[in-house]
Amino acid sequence: MGIAERKERQRAELREQILRVARDIVVKEGFPALSMRKLADAVEYAPATLYLHFENREAIAKELCVRGFQDLLALLEPAAQVEDPLERLPQLAKAYVRFGLEHPETYRLIFMEDPKLSTALFGDSPEGAGPRAFGVLVQVFVDLLAAGRLEEGTKPEQLAEVLWAGVHGIVSLRLTCTGFPGTPAEELTQVLVTTLVKGLPGLKAGRAQKKTR
């Protein structure tokens, strides 16, 4: 291995070390605890060295978001392999909620810290982990439409957004309202999917209310 190759490998290893330590800080203490000086102390390098790899703290946060989305995508992919889209739908929802609850600080960083972080991920490239993760949710409705199980004119992207809003809401509620004595997340996820597929259980048609002046 030549000198140039060795230096490049060392540079890549240090970059990975910085990200690994940054992630540990975020997971243990939350994103507000992360600073370039604190990170430099943790990796035992001068702060100036960190700036050779990352422009600022936000650049590190963005990279952690990218990797968080990659982890989310990896957890969704087994469920995405379920052939029947109607069976796939609840598996995807459960996988999403499980990711959020098992990796709360990563989830907070991706979706609940700074809107600019997730916005940048979806604007950078359609092949990025963020758009691909959303694409997995879209595909289940594309397949239902192709199988003739949804009405013509149904918009898969719109239904995927509804599903995403629902599972995100479940995760967010559990992370921010820990004292709320609600339904267990797994059961709530099943109710969400059932309601999305079948509508409100036992809903009966009622009389239209008369307009009052």
Amino acid at 8: E
Rounded CA-CA distance 68/46 in Å is 27
Rounded CA-CA distance 72/19 in Å is 18
Q: Which residue has the tokens 């595909």?
A: 139
191 touches 183 (CB < 8 A): yes
pLDDT of the residue at 141: 96
pLDDT of the residue at 117: 73
pLDDT of the residue at 211: 53
pLDDT of the residue at 210: 52
Three-class SS string for 29-91? HCHHHCCHHHHHHHHCCCHHHHCCCCCCHHHHHHHHHHHHHHHHHHHHHHHHCCCCHHHHHHH
CATH among 3.30.70.660, 1.10.357.10, 1.10.260.40, 3.30.310.50 for 61-199: 1.10.357.10
User: CA 36 → CA 13, 46, 109, 115, 118, distances in Å?
Assistant: 18, 10, 17, 21, 21
pLDDT of the residue at 124: 65
User: CA 42 → CA 38, 46, 163, distances in Å?
Assistant: 6, 10, 40
pLDDT of the residue at 207: 58
Q: Where are the domains of the chain?
A: 1-54, 61-199
Task: Measure the CA angle with vertex 86, ends 81 and 91; round to 5°.
Answer: 55
Task: Give the CA radius of gyration of the chain.
Answer: 22
* Class of the domain covering 1-54: mainly alpha
Residues of the chain with pLDDT under 70: 1, 123-125, 205-213
